Amino acid sequence: MEFDVDKHVKTYWNKIIGLTDTDEKKFADATSEHSTRASKFLKGFNLDPIMPELNKYYSVPEGKENFPRRAMFKGMVFRKAKKIKYYTRTEDYLNDHPEEAIELGFNIDRNGNVEIPDHETLRHFEKIRLGNEGMDAIMELFCIKVVGDGKKLGLKIGEKTGTDSTPIEIPHDPDGTYNGYYKKKMVKMHITSDYDHNIPLAKQVCGGTEDDNQYLECMLKKTAVSAEENMDETWFDGGYNCNKNIALAHVEFGLTCHYHIDQDWRKNVTYEHSFGGKTFIYTPEQKINYLYRKYWNEPDYRKDASLENMMKYLVKKGVHDPVAMYFRNPCVATYEECPDGVLDVYHQRNHSEGVNSYMKENLGLETHINGKRMKNIDLHVTECCIVLLAVALTRLQHGITENLCSVAYLT
């Protein structure tokens, strides 16, 4: 006789917890008014959008693996959301709470027992089967799906973004570097997030004393993969405000930029040129035109190029300074006229710092790294981002547009 899994699951629930609720299939959001089991919340998460990517990491068709791949992935999100650091504790928890394992999608055998993967299987799924590359690919896909589903509900996720770095203290890890500013042995995590919904759209982990400036371009490129058509304004602090980044953000990405005004920046920067014994003062716009004309013999040179196209051309050639000054000069002038007004807009970037703090407080960003070395730290950061994206996508799938990344009330 064929084994009826659905009937067996229902019988199991009725036997174990007396489940007769007619709202069993209704999605249960987790809010400040009503907390929800993480497993019950994730039961309402439709993983179909990421299955083509997840399937790449299996050699057998879905349904032929030892443990359901959907349940294994939800198990990872579940583990991080509940701040369970160790795989052994995850195994023990699921064995002690079989009803939650069922909600995650794990199977029941013919004897009525829930089939729980052991800690080594859980570890292998995250660190070996998917690994850093797999998790990065899945995070990127989540970003695309979150932005896309948000658009269907009238949200422009990625319209306003902020990039910030935060220290992750790792006192006993050989890959940690002592940072004199923070006075700790650490690595850095860079996050670009959507300001309106605190959704991470790009991440990067680097050494504890590396220069932030080198990472803004790649962060904006990663963000553009999912949110390019929405991107409009961006915020970044003094760690990223070099001339190259200002030029790239404005010209390559077409963004309105808000950044820290350094005290030593001069207003109305100009350029001197000497011809025939006479000195001429060039504005940034004149300097851009002058430099562009030097490429007159290049095949892609256009005599009638607009200022915008000249700037784009120079940026592609690696010429950033006069382009940055074209945008920076007005910012410095505005700051001198009304510093409070500029600072009020600039300090909206505190949202970005809020995402970093939120992951530290609610996902054990700094305390729940499982293993040493940069590879494990990076995997942990990626998984924390995936958790926020997963809960956001779950809510969007059910038409919810508020508190998208909240995990505070998942129990």
pLDDT band at residue 338 using 50, 70 and 90 as cut-offs: confident
**Cβ neighbours of 315 (radius 10 Å):** 18
Q: What is the mean pLDDT of residues 260-281?
A: 92
Give the C-alpha separation, 84 to 68, whole Å.
21
Which tens digits make up the pLDDT trace of 281-302?
Answer: 999 999 999 999 999 999 999 9
pLDDT at 16 over 70: no
CB contact at 8 A, 190 and 206? yes
DSSP string, 160-192: EEEEEEEEEE-TT-TT-EEETTTTEEEEEEEEE
SS3 338: coil
Q: How far apart are the first and last CA of the chain?
A: 39
pLDDT of residue 18: 46
pLDDT of residue 2: 39
Which tens digits make up the pLDDT trace of 126-184?
Answer: 999 999 999 999 999 999 999 999 999 999 999 999 999 999 999 999 999 999 999 99
Q: What is the mean pLDDT of residues 263-282?
A: 92
* Poorest-pLDDT segment among 2-16, 21-35, 90-104: 2-16
Question: What is the reported pTM?
Answer: 0.92
pLDDT of residue 351: 53
pLDDT of residue 29: 95
Q: Quote the tokens at residue 136.
A: 């990065």
3-state SS string over 45-106?
CCCHHHHHHHHHHCCCCCCCCCCCHHHHHHHHHHHHHCCCCCHHHHHHHHHHCHHHHHHHCC
pLDDT band at residue 349 using 50, 70 and 90 as cut-offs: low
Q: What is the mean pLDDT of residues 21-27?
A: 65
CB contact at 8 A, 162 and 193? yes
pLDDT of residue 20: 39
Which tens digits make up the pLDDT trace of 56-94?
Answer: 999 999 999 999 999 999 999 999 999 999 999 999 999
CB contact at 8 A, 195 and 162? yes
pLDDT at 28 over 90: no
Higher pLDDT: 118 or 354? It is 118
Give the C-alpha separation, 253 to 256, whole Å.
9
Q: What is the mean pLDDT of residues 326-345?
A: 87
* Poorest-pLDDT segment among 7-11, 71-75, 327-331, 398-402: 7-11
Which tens digits make up the pLDDT trace of 366-375?
Answer: 999 999 999 9
Q: What is the mean pLDDT of residues 377-387?
A: 98
> 319: phi > 0 → left, psi -120 to 50 → alpha, else beta; which?
beta
